[in-house]
A and B are shown apart, each in its own frame.
Chain A
Amino acid sequence: MNYQLTEEQLMIQDLITKIANEKVKPVRAHLDETGEFPWEIMKILADSDLCGLYIPQEYGGFGGGEMEFCLATEALSRVCGGVGVTFAATALGCTPILQHGSDEMKKKYLPDIAAGKKLAAFALTEANAGSDAGAMETRAVKDGDYYILNGTKQWITNGGEADINSVFAITNPDKGSRGCTAFVVEKGTPGFSFGKKENKLGIRASATRELVFENVRVHKDNIIGREGNGFIVALKTLDTTRPGIAAQAVGIAQGSLDEALEYARTRVQFGKPIITLQCIQHMLADMAIQIEAARALLYAVCRNIDAGAKDYTKEAAMIKTFASDMAMKVTTDAVQIMGGYGYMREYPVEKMMRDAKITQIYEGTNQVQRNVIAKYLMKELSGKK
């Protein structure tokens, strides 16, 4: 469908698609097999000015918004979900700074991210604090102009590769949700180390590690926003980056449909290509409908955010849930259409199916997203009374 993208947006789409097809496609199976971090690809994206897509021009970026970010993530993920999330995770890591950081903080960190010299990471999750972020155990204790951080963050995308980390810690355990504070912690700060790289089902090119804080001294200037504001920073950030997960899901699903279509066109059984069989045609049609529906909602949400919407929590949760459930179904069907071949590592769709699974889990499970959506529905209902 023609979404009336601007000339700039089409330009971004074209450029990323070209890079994805020429540079990512030939290595995606290797990256999946080895779990190697795609530094070379990140370098190409950086040299093409794509790392600063969503960063304002005054901080060296391109000045795009949610739409540009999602178009890029979708186009990369269409070829490789692992590379797609590596790109998107830097946006997640620096959105707290973008939305809540002081001008000084923005000047200090954003230009290097925009230039692709540094990656960013977002560190909220812990072993005992997943969906229940309030159960966080990482502490930051004030000591003069500094805070002393202790604790361990788990499953942090870009962990160990990112120089700039948005880290959430409890500064006042008595204050509940108002006792959390966000800090920028730079890689190399004494006492800050990384656990082993996790061995994952999918998105294996992306790096996932523990972030370990042992008496890490962080200056108060590194607080993102205000002390005690950490949860608000986290929630606002996730509202903004959740459509990025949806973009990843749409990309992965589209990639699997591309493969299934090509396979169905060339695979001959019973003397003719299987694309001539109605059962296959109907599966392909359903996949295409689902993908287009998700894409249409995604772009609508992005445009709403870029137009300056204040509260888009519900919409972000809706598109994240819809697109990720869709991607799981579509990639599974792609494997089904390709049968035994689809199940084999020699073909890319089993990887896409593995990559799709995480989109239902991270940045808030789809179950939690449904809770959020329902809460909004009830709120709207009571407002109507």
Chain B
Amino acid sequence: MKNIVVCIKQVPDTDKVQINPETNTLIREGVVSIINPFDLNALEAALQLKEKHGARVIVISMGPPQVKEALKETIAMGADEVALISDRAFAGSDTWATSYTLSQAIRTIDNVDLILCGKQAIDGDTAQVGPGIAEFLNIPQVTFAKDIQYDNGRFTIKRVVEDGYEVLEADAPLVITVSKEINVPRYPSLKGKMRAKTIEVPVWGAADIQADDTNTGLNGSPTQVVRIFTPPVKGNSEIFTGEATQSAARLVMKLRELVK
């Protein structure tokens, strides 16, 4: 295998994020940014393929300059190269524009055999960018992978479906998005961290990747987020208070009633 490209996204740590009920927007102040956890699974999958078959692992991300830190973290984990795709022209991108922009960046990298993404980002939850990249590049895609094997130019992928998994085969190059069960991402290594410290993250702007401005940023985005809100709690809720054993008994009775 020659080159594996891993796409990552920096996201707010959603365990700690809250929504302002008045404006219906994310309260971003003071929230730590992390690498989207599924993207770490994608990176781990790439690193394991590299260890087994030999390859260069190139990590890219589209975002503002602070994403450099996230990219450095991937170096600490074992990525060979990184690049930040960043330009004012990319601001306000939806999943279409993001997929286009990332695919343009990938076009500038030679000999790409595999593009790995997390199955979705934990902030937007769309799961559209991975497949979008495949469409723009006009190559096959397999989503929700829980296992990837490689042999002589051909990938065998186990794809998670509702009640089990499908086994699919596809030739390089292709896009695979991975699910959480594929692996446990490794910790950064000390030597990796030392390397990350010395690395200057290259920034690729619109001109570098020959991005056409009708497809990028707010202008190139066919969709727009109108509103974000916490959905109202569905149905009626009842809270049983008092002694645990008694409330448990009352809960069981209530459930029995509902099942009838």
Contact = CB atoms under 8 A, between A and B. Distances in A.
Interface residues of A, number: 14
Interface in B142-195: 186-194
Contact of B197 (A7, A12, A18, A62): A7
Interface in A35-58: 44, 47-50, 53
Contact of A19 (B187, B192, B193, B197): B187
A285 B187 CA distance: 35
A148 interface: no
B194 A8 contact: yes
A7 B194 CA distance: 10
Contacts of A11: 190, 193-194, 197
Contacts of A15: 187-188, 190, 193
Nearest to A14: B193
A18 B189 CA distance: 12
Contact of B190 (A7, A12, A44): A12
Contacts of A7: 197
B194 A48 contact: no
B191 to A, nearest CB: 5
A47 B187 contact: yes
Nearest to B190: A49
A18 B185 CA distance: 14
Contacts of B192: 49
Contacts, number: 30
Nearest to A68: B190
Contacts of B188: 15, 48
- How would you classify the secondary structure of chain B's contact residues: helix, strand, loop or mixed? helix
A62 B187 contact: no
A49 B189 contact: yes
A8 B193 CA distance: 9
B205 to A, nearest CB: 30
Interface string B191-235: 111100100000000000000000000000000000000000000
Interface string A1-41: 00000011001100100110000000000000000000000
B27 to A, nearest CB: 25
Interface in B109-133: none
B81 to A, nearest CB: 21
A48 B197 contact: no
Contacts of B190: 11-12, 15, 48-50, 53, 62
Contact of A18 (B186, B187, B194): B187
Contacts of B189: 47-49
Contacts of B194: 8, 11
B244 to A, nearest CB: 17
A330 B170 CA distance: 61
A19 B193 CA distance: 15
A11 B194 CA distance: 9
A62 B194 CA distance: 10
Nearest to A44: B187
A44 B194 CA distance: 18
A119 B260 CA distance: 62
Nearest to A51: B190
Interface of A: 7-8, 11-12, 15, 18-19, 44, 47-50, 53, 62
Given A8-B194, A47-B187, A50-B190, 15 more contacts: A7-B197, A11-B197, A12-B190, A15-B187, A15-B193, A19-B187, A47-B189, A48-B188, A48-B189, A49-B189, A49-B190, A49-B192, A53-B190, A62-B190, A62-B191
27 contacts: A7-B197, A8-B194, A11-B193, A11-B194, A11-B197, A12-B190, A15-B188, A15-B190, A15-B193, A18-B187, A19-B187, A44-B187, A47-B186, A47-B187, A47-B189, A48-B186, A48-B187, A48-B188, A48-B190, A49-B189, A49-B190, A49-B191, A49-B192, A50-B190, A53-B190, A62-B190, A62-B191
